[in-house]
Amino acid sequence: MITKPGSQVQEKYNQLSNYKEGNSVKIIVCVKQVPDTAATMTVDNGAISWGDAPLIINPWDEFAVEAALNLVADQGGEIIALCLGKEGETEAIKHALAMGADSAVMVSDPALEGADNVAASKVLAAAIQKIGEADLVLFGQQSVDTDTGLLPVQTARLLKWPSLTLVSKFESVNPGDGKIQVLRSMEEAGQIVDSSLPAVVSVTKDYGEPRYPSFMGIRKASKAEYPVWSLADLGIETPSSSIAWPEVTEPVQKEIVTEIIEGETPEEKAKSLVEKLIAEKVL
């Protein structure tokens, strides 16, 4: 169930979001709703179509939720799932809540239809600032639909916070001292990085397998209420996108013919192959 700002649910959310005690950590996890990874993308009337594929939480974001849950289990605190999308698309938020997130916020506005990463980062940064007092903002490494991996860095830049990418382990998180140490996954090694808090972190699948939502978690998530914020609620104008896709076309399908080169001996096959390559003007 969703609700608008100004309601009792919004007031309850405000009370929860002000929670801060000792070395506890307040984490915002950004989650995204994407088509099922088994879906096939097609082009329909110049636009991308995923057909009737079900929508799911971006699989990379599950690792970010898992990291948040483990951090809060170790030192206390709260987890807020933040989702930018269409108001009726709630699967990502429900999944995060079912895994164990404490509360959620949806940002939805018709003006954001077709927003790219640049526009999305501006909206997420404004929502993070409105939530307030976060120690960490976690993202999945990338999303399976756009697959750019740029949104965490773009959001950090707007917040003017450190950006820690490709994180596979949290060595220490100390909100009291305003410090964090993480392990970044490199191609052939790992890199220990120290940073100040608050910070934006993108989490890789090397962090560890995400937990399955429990039955009780799923039931709780199905009944959860959370605020839905518009651009007006965030106090920002419609952000402009840097990239637009006015029309999408499918690549021309090439017919491929496979031919088996015959011959009694390797020499005969090689000779036949060379003749065919010369005939096709490849050689």
- 210-252 confidence digits (pLDDT tens): 999 999 999 999 999 999 999 999 999 999 888 877 777 777 8
Q: How far apart are CA 188 and CA 166, in angstroms?
A: 13
Type of residue at 87: E
Question: What's the alpha-carbon Rg for the chain, to the nearest Å?
Answer: 24
Q: How far apart are CA 138 and CA 115, in angstroms?
A: 21
What are the residue boundaries of the structural domains of the chain, listed by start? Answer: 2-234, 254-283
Task: Write the DSSP symbol of residue 206.
Answer: G
| Model pLDDT, residue 113 | 86
The four Cα atoms 274, 276, 280, 281 give a dihedral, to 10 degrees, of 20
φ and ψ of 167, to 5 deg: -85, 130
- 167-216 confidence digits (pLDDT tens): 999 999 999 999 999 999 988 888 999 999 999 999 999 999 999 999 99
| Model pLDDT, residue 245 | 74
Confidence tier at 7 by pLDDT (50, 70, 90): low
Question: Residue 256: helix, strand or coil by DSSP?
Answer: coil
Q: How far apart are CA 249 and CA 245, in angstroms?
A: 10
Asked if omega into 227 is within 30° of 0 (cis), the reply is no
Selection from 174, 158, 163 nearest residue 203 by Cα:
163
The verdict on domain 2-234 having CATH code 3.40.50.620 is yes
Q: How far apart are CA 25 and CA 133, in angstroms?
A: 10
Yes or no: say if 136 and 28 are a contact pair by the CB < 8 Å rule.
yes
Bridge partners, residue 173, by sequence: 180
Yes or no: say if 228 and 87 are a contact pair by the CB < 8 Å rule.
yes
| Model pLDDT, residue 105 | 96
Question: Residue 136: helix, strand or coil by DSSP?
Answer: strand
**HSE-up of 89 (CA within 13 Å, CB side)?**
19
Look up tokens 């329909």; give the residue. 44
Q: How far apart are CA 15 and CA 27, in angstroms?
A: 15
Type of residue at 149: G
Q: How far apart are CA 29 and CA 39, in angstroms?
A: 25
Helix and strand counts by DSSP (H, E) for the chain: 8, 14
Residue 84's H or E segment, with its range, is strand 77-84
The CA-atom distances, in angstroms, between 85 and each of 183, 231, 238 are: 31, 12, 14
- 60-109 confidence digits (pLDDT tens): 999 999 999 999 999 999 999 999 998 888 999 999 999 999 999 999 99
Q: What is the pTM of this model?
A: 0.80
